[in-house]
Structure 1
Amino acid sequence: MIKVDNLSYSFPQKNLYNNISFTLEDGQHCAFIGTNGSGKSTLIDIIMDPEKYMYDGSLEIDPNCRIGYVRQFQELDKTKEITVFEYLAEDFLKLQNEITAICTEMETSSDIDILLEKYQQALDAFEAINGDDFENIIDKKLNLIELIKYKYLNISELSGGEFKLIQVIKAMLTSPDLLIMDEPDVFLDFTNLNALKNLINSHKGTTLVVTHNRYLLNHCFNKIIHLENMELQEFDGGYIEYNFSLLQTKIELQELAAADTEEIERTEILIDKLRELATENAEQFRGKTLRARVKIKERLEERRIKAPFVEIKEPNIIFVTANEVEEKTVLKVNDYNVAFDEVLLENINFEIKSTDKVAIVGSNGTGKTTLFQRIIKNDDPSIEIDKDIKIGYLSQLQGQTLNYSNTIFEEFFDIGFKTRDDIKEYLEGYNFDEELLNQKIGTLSGGEKNLLQLAKISETGADLLLLDEPTSHLDTYSQIALEKAIKRYKGAILMVSHDYYTIANCMDYVLLIKDKKIRKININHFKDIIYANHFDKHYLKNEEKKKALETKIELALRDNDFLLAQSLSEELEPIIKLLQN
């Protein structure tokens, strides 16, 4: 269906691809993964509109391929009064009206032949998208995600997560041969994420989905395309199996690399000795032996193992407090209420201690971000913040904390860095190379913008972190790095998130919003809720075991203990099989 062959493409400040190749076959469900800023969305844009880009190599798409596309960002037009059904049926109704208009024109026209041709073309297009049964198809899709009750509701009344699902349904309705989606999971609550999983798995055609969501990756795909360090590799199989394969490859390659390093070091010692002997005694054979050894060393260095997919750098996220931590209440909310057209939250009461790590959890549209905004503004008598603490804020609306017209260099110079070298050295820890420092922040990927927010928070220090969907857009490696930073942090955290991995791994307890109220629940209770709605009760436990063993393998590799690494890998294999079931 798609064939990419030796494709290369560069931005002015960055090379994105170097002779990458892959194929996408009919019926495959493919996850497109890679670190933030590696060029995934740009490659999607090239596939969607190849004429717009000057690239080397070739891109072939089946000329009869119908493509459905869900963009990463699409604003909801609040002013357009249109129901969910009208929005979903738009393409069908347009063709239906066209057919009716042609029939009406045929009643009075003398040029029947041209009209008959137009009529047949419109009819063929209508049949190609199963137009005769379109309302039933719409109802089935809405039932699948449990949104049938919203069929005649205005689009403007939907939450952001609900509208995203409706976008996915619309892209699917015309039965595209290829469905492309760019991070369709961002900001979806648990229920809507599960609905998205069901939609992806129900699609009979080919899918290509850019996602970092671990739940979708583990449950929706039978092919992985991994873009990293300007190179790409394909894997026929699921994400869990792919990660295990990468780890096994890493053990094997690192052992080979260690052997190469030892051989190079031995050769260097021998070359040094031969140089000394050649200096003391200029016999011809010693010169020949020296040159031969130098060539051996050069060959060893040339063949030294290169493994771009197993040397992925996690960003070095470190949160520090602005003041010495002391036990006290840093945030108190008393009888807080918020209402727009209707009441969202009423009589909300909770408090956060100086070392608490707390997640606010609730369905899309329940008022979590609104509450966050009021805390940030600190202008509501129901909200009390300790006057002696410093707050760090990560916004899901990234333009609130980042100046899109700034370059990365300007943004960090503005917060107190003195020199370009200081900024360069600091941001290397967040995987930003020097050539990116002059790039405008507005041109960065969503994940890169979130990493910059985290880098700013890390540098300035804070006693209370307010994190609004911090894992959104972040690649899986950055998500793991963020979890490590949260665990190490000594201050307080209040986090809005739908990422149950991060919540289960890092939070002390959860504030659950339901029926306009908020209640405190412990992490085990939270896990029970997730188990009941998403997967069996052993899933997260097996995930934790998997992660613990992977960490032990990394430590064994760091010590070049390859026997232990291989033994741990064998211990990991049955857990991988359990997670695949």
Structure 2
Amino acid sequence: MIKADNLSFSFPEKELYKNISFTLEEGQHCAFIGTSGSGKTTLTDMIMEPDRYMFDGTLKIDPDYRIGYVSQFSQLDKTREITVFDYMAEEFIRLQNEITAICTEMETSEDIETLLVKYQAALDAFDAMGGDDYENNINKKLNLADLSKHETAMVSSLSGGEFKLIQVIKVMLSNPHLIIMDEPDAFLDFENINSLKNLINSHKGTLLIITHNRYLLDHCFDKILHLENKELQEFDGRFMDYKLSLLQTKIELQELAAADTAEIERNKAIINKLRLAATFHTEASRGKSLHAREKVLERLEARRIKAPFVVIRQPEIVLPDLPESEETTVLKVHDYSAAFDEVLLEHVSFEMKSTDKVALIGPNGTGKTTLLRDIYKNKTQSIQVGDQVKMAFLSQIQGEMLGEDHTVQDEFFEIGFNTYDEIKAHIAKYGFGEEVLTQKIGNLSGGEKNLLQLAKVSVTKANLLLLDEPTSHLDTYSQLALEEAIDNYKGAVLMVSHDFNTIANCADYVLMVEDKNIRKISIRKFRKMIYASHFNKDYIEIQDKKKSVETKIESALKKNDFELAKGLSEELERLIKLL
């Protein structure tokens, strides 16, 4: 359906792709993954509007191919007065009205031929969308996404997460040949993520979805496109099978590299001896021996396999470095309430200690971000922040904390960095190359902007971090790095998150918004609650065993114990087959 062959493309400041090739066939559900800023969104833009881009290679798409699109930035229009059902039926109703109007015009018009052409085009468009049964199809999709109760509600009353699901449903109902979604999971709560999973899995057409959500990756896709270091790899199969393939390749490459390293060192020693001998002896045979050895060394070094997909540099996310200190209370919230058009939170009370790592969870639109902002502003009597507490805030609205018109270097000069080299060294830890320093922040990807926010937070002396959806837009490698950074941080963290893995791996306990109040629950109870909603018992047990085996493999590779690593990878493969 779509075929790219030796596709290359560059911006003036950055090369994105170098001779990449892939195919996307009818009915495939394809996950598009890769590190932040690798060019995933640009490639989907090229597929939708190839004429806008000057690229080398070929990109073959049928000119009659209809593509639907769900943006990561879909915004809810609170002023729009239309019901959910009517909003999703808009295009069907428009075509019905157009067909009726053409029929009416035919009764009096003499130009029947032109009207017949228009009538047939409108009818074909209506039929292509399954128009005869659109009301039933809308109801089925709403039921699948657990949104039936909102059918007659106004769109303006929906939460951001509910509206995102409505956007997905609306595009699916139009029945295009391909649907492209750019991080449709961003900011969705646990229930909405599960609804999105159901919508994806029930869709009969072709999907290309940019996502870093580990839950969706494990449950929704039969093809993987992985863009990394200007190259692209495609894999037909599940994400967990792809990860296993990468791990097995990593074991093979590391074993080969270890053998090659020993051989390279041996040849370097021989070359050094031959060079030393050549300084005292001028025989041609000695020069030939030296040249031959140098050629052997060149071949060995060239044979080192380039592995852009297995050796991916994980960012070194570091949070503020704090000294050890006695445990104190850093935050007290007492009888806090928040309301806009309606009451979101009321009579909320809790407190946090100086080393607490806390996840604030709950459905979209229940006041979590409002509470976080009020804590940061510290101007509400019901919120008390400790005298020795310094706060830092990471916003899901990235333009609040970053100057979109600034260059990256401007942003860091503004917060106290003194030299270009100092900034370059600092942001390199977060995976940024030197070329990004002069780029405008507004041109960066969502994941890159979140990494920049974290890079700014890291140089503060904050001992209370308020993080609003910190893993949103981050690739899986950056998510893992952030989890490790939170775990090592000696201060307190209050984060709004809907990422199950991040919460389970980082938080000491959970504050759950429930009935306009907040309830404290243990991580153990939180895990059981999520498992009951989304997983079966066998799945969780297998996942725990799988994680244990993966940890043992990494340990074996660090010790260059390749036989143990191979044996463990076979055990891992058996576990994955059970999933």
Contact 1:325–1:491 (CA under 8 A) maintained in structure 2: no
- 1:246-257 aligned at under 5 Å gives the runs 246-257=246-257
Report the Cα distance in structure 1 between the residues aligned to 2:55 and 2:177, rounded to whole angstroms: 25
Q: CA deviation at 1:556?
A: 2.8
Residue 16 of structure 2 aligns with which residue?
Answer: 16
Q: CA deviation at 1:472?
A: 0.5
Report the Cα distance in structure 2 between the residues aligned to 1:520 and 1:268, rounded to whole angstroms: 62
Q: CA deviation at 1:10?
A: 0.8
1:377 aligns with 2:377: yes
Residue 236 of structure 2 aligns with which residue?
Answer: 236
**What code does the residue aligned with 1:415 have?**
I
Q: 1:387-433: per-residue Cα shift (whole Å, max 9, x none)?
A: 21111211111111111111111111111111111111111110000
Report the Cα distance in structure 1 between the residues aligned to 2:407 and 2:541, rounded to whole angstroms: 43
Residue 464 of structure 2 aligns with which residue?
Answer: 464
Report the Cα distance in structure 2 between the residues aligned to 1:35 and 1:170, rounded to whole angstroms: 29
Report the Cα distance in structure 2 between the residues aligned to 1:333 and 1:230, rounded to whole angstroms: 48
Report the Cα distance in structure 1 between the residues aligned to 2:484 and 2:190, rounded to whole angstroms: 23
Contact 1:321–1:463 (CA under 8 A) maintained in structure 2: no
Residue 569 of structure 2 aligns with which residue?
Answer: 569
Residue 227 of structure 1 aligns with which residue?
Answer: 227
Q: CA deviation at 1:206?
A: 0.8
SS class of match (1:406) = coil
Q: CA deviation at 1:132?
A: 1.3
Q: 1:161-208: per-residue Cα shift (whole Å, max 9, x none)?
A: 000000000110021221110000000000000000000001001110
Deviates more, 1:313-322 or 1:172-181: 313-322
Q: CA deviation at 1:322?
A: 5.0
Q: CA deviation at 1:543?
A: 3.3
SS class of match (2:512) = strand
Report the Cα distance in structure 1 between the residues aligned to 2:319 and 2:325, rounded to whole angstroms: 13
The change in CA–CA distance for 1:48 and 1:139 in structure 2 (over 3 A counts) is same
Residue 131 of structure 1 aligns with which residue?
Answer: 131
The change in CA–CA distance for 1:197 and 1:518 in structure 2 (over 3 A counts) is same
Q: CA deviation at 1:558?
A: 2.9
Deviates more, 1:77-86 or 1:519-528: 77-86
**What code does the residue aligned with 2:157 have?**
E
Using the size of structure 1 for normalisation, the TM-score is 0.97
Report the Cα distance in structure 1 between the residues aligned to 2:457 and 2:528, rounded to whole angstroms: 33
Residue 39 of structure 2 aligns with which residue?
Answer: 39
Residue 438 of structure 1 aligns with which residue?
Answer: 438
The change in CA–CA distance for 1:392 and 1:323 in structure 2 (over 3 A counts) is farther
Q: CA deviation at 1:331?
A: 0.6
Residue 422 of structure 1 aligns with which residue?
Answer: 422
Report the Cα distance in structure 2 between the residues aligned to 1:563 and 1:299, rounded to whole angstroms: 27
**What code does the residue aligned with 1:524 have?**
R
Residue 526 of structure 2 aligns with which residue?
Answer: 526
Q: 1:215-240: per-residue Cα shift (whole Å, max 9, x none)?
A: 00000000000000000000011001
1:103 aligns with 2:103: yes
Q: CA deviation at 1:544?
A: 4.1
**What code does the residue aligned with 2:156 have?**
S
Contact 2:75–2:160 (CA under 8 A) maintained in structure 1: no
Residue 311 of structure 1 aligns with which residue?
Answer: 311
Residue 333 of structure 1 aligns with which residue?
Answer: 333
**What code does the residue aligned with 1:120 have?**
Q
Residue 91 of structure 2 aligns with which residue?
Answer: 91
Contact 2:6–2:57 (CA under 8 A) maintained in structure 1: yes
1:284 aligns with 2:284: yes
Report the Cα distance in structure 2 between the residues aligned to 1:53 and 1:61, rounded to whole angstroms: 14
Residue 477 of structure 2 aligns with which residue?
Answer: 477
Deviates more, 1:213-222 or 1:64-73: 64-73
Residue 175 of structure 1 aligns with which residue?
Answer: 175
Deviates more, 1:376-385 or 1:324-333: 324-333
Q: CA deviation at 1:538?
A: 4.4
Report the Cα distance in structure 2 between the residues aligned to 1:126 and 1:282, rounded to whole angstroms: 86
Report the Cα distance in structure 1 between the residues aligned to 2:568 and 2:320, rounded to whole angstroms: 34
Contact 1:323–1:389 (CA under 8 A) maintained in structure 2: no
Deviates more, 1:271-280 or 1:350-359: 271-280
SS class of match (2:364) = coil
Q: 1:349-387: per-residue Cα shift (whole Å, max 9, x none)?
A: 100011111111101111111111111111111111012
Q: CA deviation at 1:79?
A: 2.1
Residue 408 of structure 1 aligns with which residue?
Answer: 408
Q: CA deviation at 1:343?
A: 1.4
Deviates more, 1:271-280 or 1:233-242: 271-280
* Count of residue correspondences: 579
Residue 448 of structure 2 aligns with which residue?
Answer: 448
The change in CA–CA distance for 1:478 and 1:243 in structure 2 (over 3 A counts) is same
Residue 245 of structure 2 aligns with which residue?
Answer: 245
Contact 1:358–1:511 (CA under 8 A) maintained in structure 2: yes
Using the size of structure 2 for normalisation, the TM-score is 0.98
Deviates more, 1:108-117 or 1:353-362: 108-117
Report the Cα distance in structure 1 between the residues aligned to 2:572 and 2:128, rounded to whole angstroms: 48
Report the Cα distance in structure 1 between the residues aligned to 2:403 and 2:510, rounded to whole angstroms: 32
Q: 1:66-102: per-residue Cα shift (whole Å, max 9, x none)?
A: 2111112122222222221121111111111101111
Name the Cα RMSD after superposition.
1.4
**What code does the residue aligned with 2:410 have?**
E
The change in CA–CA distance for 1:355 and 1:309 in structure 2 (over 3 A counts) is same
SS class of match (1:460) = coil
**What code does the residue aligned with 2:184 have?**
P
Contact 2:344–2:366 (CA under 8 A) maintained in structure 1: yes
Residue 210 of structure 1 aligns with which residue?
Answer: 210
Report the Cα distance in structure 1 between the residues aligned to 2:62 and 2:240, rounded to whole angstroms: 30
Report the Cα distance in structure 1 between the residues aligned to 2:437 and 2:539, rounded to whole angstroms: 41
**What code does the residue aligned with 2:254 have?**
Q
Report the Cα distance in structure 2 between the residues aligned to 1:410 and 1:70, rounded to whole angstroms: 33
Structure 1 gaps of 5+ residues are: none
Q: CA deviation at 1:561?
A: 2.4
Contact 1:319–1:461 (CA under 8 A) maintained in structure 2: no
Report the Cα distance in structure 1 between the residues aligned to 2:216 and 2:272, rounded to whole angstroms: 55
SS class of match (2:535) = coil
Contact 1:323–1:463 (CA under 8 A) maintained in structure 2: no
Contact 2:322–2:490 (CA under 8 A) maintained in structure 1: no
Residue 487 of structure 2 aligns with which residue?
Answer: 487
Report the Cα distance in structure 2 between the residues aligned to 1:535 and 1:15, rounded to whole angstroms: 42
**What code does the residue aligned with 2:186 have?**
V
Q: 1:300-346: per-residue Cα shift (whole Å, max 9, x none)?
A: 22222211111101110122355653211101110111122221111
Contact 1:186–1:473 (CA under 8 A) maintained in structure 2: yes
Q: CA deviation at 1:284?
A: 2.4
SS class of match (1:437) = helix
Residue 6 of structure 1 aligns with which residue?
Answer: 6
Deviates more, 1:456-465 or 1:92-101: 456-465
1:344 aligns with 2:344: yes
**What code does the residue aligned with 1:348 have?**
V
Residue 115 of structure 1 aligns with which residue?
Answer: 115
Residue 361 of structure 2 aligns with which residue?
Answer: 361
Residue 186 of structure 1 aligns with which residue?
Answer: 186
Contact 1:361–1:511 (CA under 8 A) maintained in structure 2: yes
Residue 49 of structure 1 aligns with which residue?
Answer: 49
Residue 559 of structure 2 aligns with which residue?
Answer: 559
Q: CA deviation at 1:518?
A: 1.0
Report the Cα distance in structure 1 between the residues aligned to 2:74 and 2:186, rounded to whole angstroms: 12
